[in-house]
Chain A
Amino acid sequence: NAGVTQTPKFQVLKTGQSMTLQCAQDMNHEYMSWYRQDPGMGLRLIHYSVGAGITDQGEVPNGYNVSRSTTEDFPLRLLSAAPSQTSVYFCASSYNWAANEQFFGPGTRLTVL
């Protein structure tokens, strides 16, 4: 099992550009989520999904879109990048929302100039 994979590992964008952060898991987990981590702020939930076809907003959803067309994939789209979106982004999955453990991908370090 590869676990949770994320691409790219690093990305630099200019203000106004759009891009998609990829996340995939091969553990047949129903629950997937995206977090951003900023110094002094901890991990904040952006969007999450409790199963294919179902997504919902977390604490900081503005400026981001998600979709969940398959169980395996949960891409995060930045619509028009802003410097405030400079952060480390983590994708995570778990068997379901009540499961004991979330498995995290290695993260994507995004810089918006």
Chain B
Amino acid sequence: RKEVEQDPGPFNVPEGATVAFNCTYSNSASQSFFWYRQDCRKEPKLLMSVYSSGNEDGRFTAQLNRASQYISLLIRDSKLSDSATYLCVVNGGNQFYFGTGTSLTVIP
């Protein structure tokens, strides 16, 4: 079983739409959770950390459900510039485990 699983998509949404991504993880002892963004042919970059109480950064909201072992990312009022691949990342032991990523395309 993979450590981290994501729906690969692709998600194609119109500008202004709200879109949500989910990610599940297998290690119940995991302590740290993140969402990274990766643009085509570029390196991943941290979008936001995910805290137990949930957290928001502008149009982005991240949630953690420890009981069900899943993480979510909500993007409101989608912009063309949000088009990218979103990677779910979970820290376990002394390693970081990446999901395969969810592809988002925002259409004009």
Asked whether B81 is an interface residue with its Cβ less than 8 Å from the other chain, the reply is no
CB contacts (< 8 Å) of B99 on chain A: these are: 42
Residue of A nearest to B44 (CB): A104
Which residue of the partner chain, among A97, A101, A107, contacts B94 with CB atoms under 8 Å?
A: A97
Q: When chains A and B are docked, how far (Å) is the Cα of A20 from the Cα of B72?
A: 38
Binary per-residue interface labels of chain B (81-106) against chain A in the complex, 1 for a CB within 8 Å, 0 otherwise: 00000010001001111111100000
Please tell me if the beta carbons of A42 and B44 are within 8 angstroms of each other in the complex: no
Which residue of the partner chain, among B34, B42, B44, B98, contacts A100 with CB atoms under 8 Å?
A: B34
Q: When chains A and B are docked, how far (Å) is the Cα of A41 from the Cα of B101?
A: 9
The main secondary structure of chain B at its interface with chain A is strand
Please tell me if the beta carbons of B44 and A48 are within 8 angstroms of each other in the complex: no
Q: When chains A and B are docked, how far (Å) is the Cα of A33 from the Cα of B91?
A: 13
Q: When chains A and B are docked, how far (Å) is the Cα of A42 from the Cα of B8?
A: 10
Chain B: number of interface residues, binned into ranges:
20 to 34
Q: When chains A and B are docked, how far (Å) is the Cα of A107 from the Cα of B49?
A: 23
Residue of A nearest to B4 (CB): A42
Asked whether B32 is an interface residue with its Cβ less than 8 Å from the other chain, the reply is yes
Please tell me if the beta carbons of B42 and A106 are within 8 angstroms of each other in the complex: yes
Most chain-B CB neighbours within 10 Å: which of A40, A43, A48? A43
CB contacts (< 8 Å) of B45 on chain A: these are: 104
Q: What 5 pairs between A and B have smallest CB-CB spacing?
A: A42-B100, A104-B43, A97-B94, A43-B98, A101-B46
Interface residues of A (CB under 8 A from B): 31, 33, 35, 40-45, 48, 50, 56, 58, 90, 97-98, 100-102, 104-107
